[in-house]
Structure 1
């Protein structure tokens, strides 16, 4: 039976910022420590960033670690951590192989506190860009985009799933809301140039336009593969207010954890103040 948030005691979400590197075992040890911090602080659910277990743009070097889900040790490691600390876990994402082994997928898992995997989501939109700074990223060269829109019941409400570059496609978030999403996860590994320009704006916009809480766990700092990520993990309420943020003064730390209550009243208040669904339904009748 789904776990419903209580208006008397709103569930606490923990957003975890990491600086994941090219060694999965080291990353898993850091994640374990971070989840322990989150559990001791009273979190009902913790959220990790994109590529939480392995962040390596050298695809040849990382290939030794990337397997089909059935053959990968990572989901079981996350399941054990969820049970160990008695909290729900959004794994951010990990690289896995498709069943035929021909491509990778960028996959999130939602794991209950008993270790049961409640949902999977494969990143839909591939990050294929040429930035003005000269940075070039072609995610589709190795990764296959997903096609399923996923919403799952969790302690922090009905959770809609997305990953990083998905953030720039508001139609996905509208589809999540139409499927009942009340809270949205946006794990990310934003580049520094795009983060400085758009990170806060886009996260707050998605929260405001959907009337949902947005929980955006991010990679931040200098990584083992040489890249820099923007950080600034956020929890944003449905009115666009930032409830929690990892600031720049945590650079150099192995991880940072920030917490915020996910109050149902905030969701309801925003829906009453700006009745988006009612206005949208009325407009659809006119068209």
Structure 2
């Protein structure tokens, strides 16, 4: 089964970003892909909060979500819209929300990023997502033509318990849309994505932001598709945005799990005894 991955260089203008997303949806559909995956913050990437504020909307009013839904229905392709920055229900905070959209344009699932990126990097970069975003509270597995799809976003990648929960609840493919920084990407991106695939015997699809963005940040790129044995089927590199394709064999999950059934050997771990 063919999937499409959109590696983006999202900017500060949602209308321009929406046009790029529609083009990616159309390219994926024309190539016969069953589903297109897009990165975290596909609609707007702008760390200037004052400038970004005028483009922030409730889900029901978001331009990017609306045009992607229309494009998916027109092209007859499922879309995992990695995430959008949206006003939460009360409008006092934001949510970082991903969507699964079917081939008629209907929303089949939503997921709000649980783990928020609050770090100070050796490069001097400082990020405080919790100052702006409200974290999600639950894991989500969506039914898709690719099988049960476990949803996550970027920094979630570092928390193996989330992926254990997703695979325990039936996920055979995991989505990890991201906007990784270059230092963290160089150190950890490939190894963590391959680990998530290997430990559960699942496919991992990680659509990423890439390159120099209008707001001044630089992202790592290297959108990946990894098979259940940990083999990288697609690596889109760090040079430019675009749409890539991979063929995935859905039977590989059962085949790998029959060879190395670690997922079936999971056991509850009791609390450690205090040291004496």
Same fold (TM over 0.5): yes
The answer to which structure, 1 or 2, has the higher relative contact order (CA under 8 A, 6+ apart) is 1
Cα offset, 1:184, TM superposition: 0.4
Question: Which of 193, 213, 219 is equivalent to 1:229?
Answer: 219
Distance in 1 between residues matched to 2:32 and 2:160, nearest whole Å = 32
The reply to whether residue 176 of structure 1 matches residue 166 of structure 2 is yes
2:51 aligned residue: 61
- Helix, strand or coil at the partner of 1:91: strand
Cα offset, 1:167, TM superposition: 0.1
- Helix, strand or coil at the partner of 1:243: strand
Instruction: Tell me, yes or no, if the aligned pair for 1:19 and 1:222 is still in contact at 8 Å.
Output: yes
2:184 aligned residue: 194
2:113 aligned residue: 123
Cα offset, 1:75, TM superposition: 2.1
Cα offset, 1:176, TM superposition: 0.3
Q: Deviations over 1:43-64 (max 9, x none)?
A: 1000000000100011111111
Question: Which of 256, 262, 278 is equivalent to 2:264?
Answer: 278
Distance in 2 between residues matched to 1:160 and 1:277, nearest whole Å = 15
Instruction: Tell me, yes or no, if the aligned pair for 2:22 and 2:67 is still in contact at 8 Å.
Output: no
Question: Which of 234, 256, 260 is equivalent to 2:246?
Answer: 260
Deviates more, 1:112-121 or 1:26-35: 26-35
2:61 aligned residue: 71
- Across the aligned residues of Structure 1 and Structure 2, the Cα RMSD in angstroms comes to 1.5
Gaps of 5+ in 1: 1-10
The reply to whether residue 41 of structure 1 matches residue 27 of structure 2 is no
Gaps of 5+ in 2: none
The reply to whether residue 17 of structure 1 matches residue 14 of structure 2 is no
Cα offset, 1:284, TM superposition: 6.8
Distance in 2 between residues matched to 1:75 and 1:31, nearest whole Å = 10
Q: Deviations over 1:102-142 (max 9, x none)?
A: 10000001000011100000000000001111111001010
Distance in 2 between residues matched to 1:277 and 1:218, nearest whole Å = 27
1:4 aligned residue: none
Cα offset, 1:277, TM superposition: 2.8
Distance in 2 between residues matched to 1:277 and 1:24, nearest whole Å = 41
Distance in 2 between residues matched to 1:183 and 1:238, nearest whole Å = 9
Instruction: Tell me, yes or no, if the aligned pair for 2:21 and 2:68 is still in contact at 8 Å.
Output: no
Instruction: Tell me, yes or no, if the aligned pair for 1:24 and 1:54 is still in contact at 8 Å.
Output: yes
Cα offset, 1:38, TM superposition: 1.4
Cα offset, 1:270, TM superposition: 1.1
Instruction: Tell me, yes or no, if the aligned pair for 1:156 and 1:262 is still in contact at 8 Å.
Output: no
Q: List 4+ stretches of structure 1 deviating above 4 A.
A: none
Question: Which of 131, 136, 143 is equivalent to 1:146?
Answer: 136
Question: TM-score normalised to the size of structure 1?
Answer: 0.91
The reply to whether residue 244 of structure 1 matches residue 234 of structure 2 is yes
Aligned residues: 271
